[in-house]
Amino acid sequence: MPMFPRTQVAGISLPRMLIGTNWVLGYSHTTSSADKMITRRFGSREAVSELLEAYLEYGIDAVMGPGEAVLTDGIKMAEDRTGKSITYIYTPIMNLGDSAAARREAEAVVEEGERVGAKFCLIHHSSVEQLVSKLHGTMDRLPDYTDMIRQHGMIPGLSAHMPELIVYADENGYDVETYIQIYNCMGFLMQIEVEGVHRIIWNAKKPVMTIKSMAAGRCSPFVGLTFSWNSIRPRDMIAVGCMTPEEVHEVVEYSHAAMERRLPELKGRKHQY
């Protein structure tokens, strides 16, 4: 299998395609019945491992997601079965309240990332956005948490659904090595227009991990991946989630074709004209 291109984040080698986990953990962004379908499909670590092993065939060896047991157990099983190491990009929801009790809760969550062997800890957008002051262009108390992450042996980053987080992190010199940012051709869940996010990504001082390239299934892999691979920088990444090993093989081929500017070598869909 052709190995997938790689980049570097804080001196760590990562594949430019990251393994997304919404389609493992039940976040369909469509309906509750779709969520249930996903969780039924991935109700065991064996099912998760089978999917991860398909990515590993291409050297795609980095997973992004929260610390749910079925995911971390599946990662461990895939590593044991293949003898290959997987880099875990932990995206925890944390209590960032300004109190001693809240800090203890936050540290317990960070400790969990260390326990499961995460290399990166990117604070979830629903948490970190609470620290944002648009008036001052800052994220108050963020250094407390990036230092906490460092103290537990992980590399700090931000899940920046709110694109200003990238700008504020760069302007204030916060200890942030990478960012997650929603980016897709449909503008799905993006807080400003596609062109604006595109400019922020290209001006970012650190590599960006883009997510939702197919707008949670609202556009085809060919359209979503072709757009994203041809409009991000060579240092940036795309997180791509799949439900089956067959889908993994497809998205990898669509991605290679987009990067190489050629026709994808895949069979057409049924009823395709």
The band of 38, judged by pLDDT with boundaries at 50, 70 and 90, is very high
pTM of the model: 0.95
155-159 vs 179-182, strand pairing mode: parallel
Q: What percent of the chain has pLDDT over 70?
A: 99
How far lies 199's CA from each of 42, 74, 148, 179, in Å? Answer: 37, 37, 31, 14
The alpha carbon dihedral of 241, 245, 248, 254 has a sign of negative
Q: CA 90, CA 110: separation in Å to the nearest integer? A: 9
pLDDT number for residue 32: 96
pLDDT in tens, 176-215: 999 999 999 999 999 999 999 999 999 999 999 999 999 9
Question: How far is C-alpha 236 from the geometric centre of its chain's CA atoms?
Answer: 11
Confidence of residue 81 (pLDDT cuts 50, 70, 90): very high
* pLDDT 10s digits, 86-120: 999 999 999 999 999 999 999 999 999 999 999 99
Tell me the angle at which helices 100-115 and 142-151 cross, rounded to the nearest 10 degrees.
40
CATH H-level, domain 6-260: superfamily? NADP-dependent oxidoreductase domain (3.20.20.100)
Question: In the numeric block, which tokens belong to residue 18?
Answer: 């990251």
Question: Does the pLDDT value for residue 263 go beyond 60?
Answer: yes
CB 176 within 8 A of CB 156: yes
CA quadruple 203, 150, 7, 112: dihedral sign: negative
Measuring CA to CA, which residue among 186, 232, 174 is closest to residue 208?
232
The reported pLDDT for the residue numbered 272 is: 56
